[in-house]
Chain A
């Protein structure tokens, strides 16, 4: 377990997790949640005050259309919920599908790569090409090429989310203790046995670290795709572009808040899943043994 966690921390050196585990529990947790909340409140308060000052003291009455105050954004979020919510669901659905396919194809390809050098040598360079090509640059091509907009947006989001999972899982599958590999060789284990008993458990922490990254990336990919296809997309990002044309700045900010909150929730969700899986991962290995 200790090893597993170390691996995760190497992948996502947020530091917060390590301190969380090491530090004294209650005060640590209080500081960890209390401090960012306090900091956030100070910023929001300052922001609110600044906008109020510009409107009431400087007399710029339309300042809410340049930089809306937090309360104005909150009001827009509530009032425009009937516009934002359907878009939000669409974007969320694209994100979820893209992440699903990133996991299936990323892990599947990583396993294929580690079983066959031929497959790895043939395909890996192209996986890198996918990764390094800016999604903004190829999104218009994808949207033009694929007639179905849903599919096109899914592909955009998938391209961004796919590579971290592939690359991390490959490293994880290779990170098996060499002594254990020797041991399995001595007892004449097949490649599949080694895969099931050694490689997949070793890869789990690396995979979970990638999952946290890719969840956020697939949201970003979906948003980028929608921006490019704004006129046709029913998603949340398209609502932002639309609102900007209508000069509904508070609504733009409200949509932005919604996207950010979604990203944060996704990260927290997969952090939780990751902790859960690594805590119980020993148990699962024992069960597989029987």
Chain B
């Protein structure tokens, strides 16, 4: 059902992030992604969906600047001055909470600020703001081990938000959580995205999660990863839990599932 790649915002504005013929081969010879073309517009909520090992995390990490492409390039045409956003303008949320076990919640969130040179009262303000956003204000002095899995993930998100990023890159952030917690965090994430007009790139292997969240889903083939289908999800925001019951939601889930099945059957797409 491969749809043609969607033109981003009708050419009125250059895409914020552009991946052009990106290829990544690891030192051990594994070809993770190849010929990856992807344009992500400002304020989009884009999900990269694909079977595990399809290189979607690798693509996300390259966007974050963690490891350069072997060939091809990643540009930020929509990003004003410099070619790349400054440190702190991009927030990254890992699959695991990756918190420092020896530091309290507030200290964990404060680290990125210290690293980009925000200190003192301003840093205090930002930490409080980030904790407020994820609803953990009263847990500032707790240690990570004292929190539940969902709360740790909230701390991890707050840490990414503390620098007030414009772009949020999320690598299967909710994969390890139970469904109830995941639904709540999905909802909260959408609220935050709408309130702050971020651009979000969200890696997931869940069809349902990606349909619920995204304004656009990019379905990738198995390794080496390429774009197989590009599905706009045109359901209006705000989306509440009720959206999960609608016919539109089910329709998108079927479409995306079919695209995913196709992508996995595509040549070179086996896992």
A interface residue numbers (CB < 8 A to B): 1-4, 177, 179-180, 182-189, 193, 197-198, 201, 204, 281-282, 284-286, 289
- Chain A residue numbers with a CB within 8 Å of B96 are 179
- Chain B residue numbers with a CB within 8 Å of A187 are 87-88, 112, 115-116
- Chain A residue numbers with a CB within 8 Å of B92 are 182-183, 186
Given contacts A201-B100, A289-B114, contact A182 B94 (CB under 8 A): yes
Interface residue total, chain B, C-beta cutoff 8 A: 25
Top-8 shortest CB links A-B: A179-B98, A187-B115, A285-B102, A179-B94, A285-B103, A289-B107, A201-B102, A282-B102
Rounded to whole Å, the gap between the CB of B118 and the closest CB of chain A is 11
A183 touches B112 (CB 8 A): yes
Q: Which residue of B lies closest to A287 (CB)?
A: B107
Q: Which residue of B lies closest to A176 (CB)?
A: B100
B145 touches A1 (CB 8 A): yes
Alpha-carbon distance A183/B110, docked complex (angstroms): 13
Interface SS of chain B: loop
B115 touches A285 (CB 8 A): no
B107 touches A182 (CB 8 A): no
Rounded to whole Å, the gap between the CB of A136 and the closest CB of chain B is 41
Alpha-carbon distance A242/B111, docked complex (angstroms): 61
- Chain A residue numbers with a CB within 8 Å of B90 are 186
Alpha-carbon distance A186/B168, docked complex (angstroms): 13
A198 touches B145 (CB 8 A): no
Alpha-carbon distance A281/B143, docked complex (angstroms): 11
Given contacts A186-B64, A186-B65, A187-B112, contact A2 B94 (CB under 8 A): no
- Most B CB contacts (10 A, CB to CB) among A186, A189, A286 go to A186
Q: List 22 A-B pairs, Cβ < 8 Å.
A: A1-B143, A2-B101, A3-B145, A4-B102, A179-B94, A179-B98, A182-B66, A183-B98, A185-B66, A186-B65, A186-B90, A186-B92, A187-B88, A187-B112, A188-B115, A189-B115, A193-B115, A197-B111, A201-B102, A204-B102, A281-B102, A285-B100
Q: Which residue of B lies closest to A3 (CB)?
A: B101
- Most A CB contacts (10 A, CB to CB) among B61, B66, B101, B145 go to B101
Alpha-carbon distance A21/B271, docked complex (angstroms): 44
- Chain A residue numbers with a CB within 8 Å of B100 are 180, 197-198, 201, 285
- Chain A residue numbers with a CB within 8 Å of B65 are 186
Rounded to whole Å, the gap between the CB of B141 and the closest CB of chain A is 9
Alpha-carbon distance A286/B106, docked complex (angstroms): 9
**B104 interface hit (Cβ, 8 Å):** yes
Q: Which residue of A lies closest to B97 (CB)?
A: A179
Q: Which residue of A lies closest to B169 (CB)?
A: A186
Q: Which residue of A lies closest to B94 (CB)?
A: A179
B94 touches A286 (CB 8 A): no
Rounded to whole Å, the gap between the CB of B68 and the closest CB of chain A is 12
- Chain B residue numbers with a CB within 8 Å of A285 are 100, 102-103, 107
- Chain A residue numbers with a CB within 8 Å of B115 are 184, 187-189, 193
- Chain A residue numbers with a CB within 8 Å of B102 are 1, 4, 201, 204, 281-282, 284-285
Alpha-carbon distance A183/B145, docked complex (angstroms): 20
Rounded to whole Å, the gap between the CB of B4 and the closest CB of chain A is 34
Alpha-carbon distance A180/B92, docked complex (angstroms): 11
- Chain B residue numbers with a CB within 8 Å of A183 are 92, 94, 98, 111-112
- Most A CB contacts (10 A, CB to CB) among B88, B94, B111, B114 go to B111
Rounded to whole Å, the gap between the CB of A206 and the closest CB of chain B is 13
Interface hits, B54-91 → A, CB 8 Å: 61, 64-66, 87-88, 90
